[in-house]
Structure 1
């Protein structure tokens, strides 16, 4: 069956109802989980991570229940079983900032420093070893990315980076920033490219979530030894671009 695109899809009562119920769940559950994580700040990182992990599991279940939105993953075998890696992912939606924590774990992510100021959710996130950068100071942001990124990788955490820097609408493209590739070049850790079409169902800056199945493709490891940051970035961007074309074709099949 051909999947309608967001541009031609009209929201019906079920979409509005499901999206509202999901929003209410987030509104009430986030402070509760945030307090639990903050209360356990003295506990090992693994315990705090597990609390967040349970919440995300519940969140994705409620998303499926209320909005009819699920996902399927291709290429899980490409995630290293031993050691960490840098995940360079397509960025279309808020969905991947949540769901990818379940698909690739344990992980931390590069994010805007201002997000840590959000009551409860942001405060709790601050205890989970994020790499929070100030985008207004690019030189300092890159320094923090490299220093903290290498430290997190050596701890065994996957580092999730959205090289486009911001959410990009389905069908649109944006030049990849070099920060993730530079981290790979400096650290020697491999890169895992990741593509998905979450923006087709959970559009950026949209309250509405549409039913369907988000397609996630995980590419083969990109070895970073003896490669420049430019070469690493180009290889990851080429794979993700091709994977996005394949996802689009599969949606139309």
Structure 2
């Protein structure tokens, strides 16, 4: 495990050093257009995947690429780590995220997020946030963009009970476009709020799109069912691989105490 720790240290240091370079490149791109900023972000994501494979021995397999629709779309990935926030960008023409407002307060980086057309929300504003988020999302998606929204609102530890928020259902209904569910097992290799980066194979699986026109409750039920079923299968595959690599599954995810669910009016993720 010392070798894995050393590789993780080298990767983490290089990841943030390289990020500074990409931020500078995006700052120059911002002088031209928001689309140029997004293009730089895609290149950063691909570079980060390559860097993690080179240093940590973490490979990536993307399944179901043929299922990605063209045009306006809602993309609903499982959210286990920081990894998927940059790794999925490359597959969409005009991707955008809904993100917490505090990220836009970061010097330079926050301004680049806004320049790229990302939607910043104040999570403390409750129902008012949900209404504004849905309005902005509808406008951007109808312009032909692909909205990447994590349906649980925030990163969840591997094996944590699913906690799908009502906000994604409202956005789906308002936008009137298909939704692409995405399952993954990245949390076993880039654990949430941890230093270690593990070797093995991250698998991302694009699932069959859910058609437009479902009611909100049925949409959330179907989305949760397909994403959780596929994610559990991918996590089991990864654990088998890790057991073969290490002779056991690394304790990458410590026991978590689940917070009490938020009231419905606060579920805006």
Normalising by the residue count of structure 1, what TM-score does the alignment of the two structures yield?
0.88
How big is each residue's C-alpha offset from its partner over 1:146-170, in whole Å with a ceiling of 9 and x where there is no partner? 1111122122221111111121111
What secondary structure is seen at the aligned counterpart in 1 of 2:202? strand
Q: Structure 2: how far apart are the matches of 1:158 and 1:141? A: 20
Q: Is residue 138 from structure 1 mapped to residue 126 from structure 2 by the alignment? A: yes
Farther off after superposition, 117-126 or 139-148: 117-126
Which among 167, 190, 202 is matched to residue 155 of structure 2? 167
Alignment partner of 1:221 out of 209, 212, 223: 209
Flag the 1:216–1:131 CA change in 2: closer, same or farther, 3 A: same
2:49–2:87 Cα contact (<8 Å) kept: yes
Q: Check 1:239–1:163 CA distance in 2 against 1; reply closer, same or farther (3 A cut).
A: same
Q: Structure 1 residue 85 and structure 2 residue 73: aligned? A: yes
**Separation in 2, partners of 1:91, 1:132:** 18
Match of 1:154 in 2: 142
Quick check: 1:59 aligned with 2:37?
A: no
- For residues 197 and 85 of structure 1, the distance between their equivalents in structure 2, rounded to whole angstroms, comes to 23
2:142 and 2:175 in contact (8 A); partners too: no
Give the Cα–Cα distance (whole angstroms) in 2 for the partners of residues 75 and 143 of structure 1.
33
Q: Determine the C-alpha separation between the residues in 2 that align with 1:122 and 1:70.
A: 30
Q: Indicate yes or no: 2:88 matched with 1:122.
A: no
Matches within 5 A, 1:16-95: 16-81=5-70, 83-95=71-83
Q: Which residue of 2 aligns with 1:206?
A: 194
Quote the Cα distance in structure 1 between the aligned partners of 2:25 and 2:15.
15
Aligned to 2:253: none
CA distance in 2, matches of 1:18, 1:121: 27
Shift, 1:56, TM fit: 1.9
Shift of 1:175: 2.1
2-structure distance, mates of 1:33, 1:250: 33
1:239 aligns with 2:223: no
Unaligned runs of 5+ in 2: 242-269
**Structure 1 gaps, min length 5:** 1-11
Distance 1:117 1:159 in 2: 22
Give me the whole-angstrom Cα distance separating, in 2, the residues matched to 1:245 and 1:206. 21
Distance 1:236 1:86 in 2: 12
TM-score normalised according to structure 2 size: 0.83
**What's 1:96 paired with?**
84
- Runs of 4+ in structure 1 off by over 6 angstroms are none
Distance across 2 between alignment mates of 1:126 and 1:34: 14
Match for residue 5 of structure 1? none
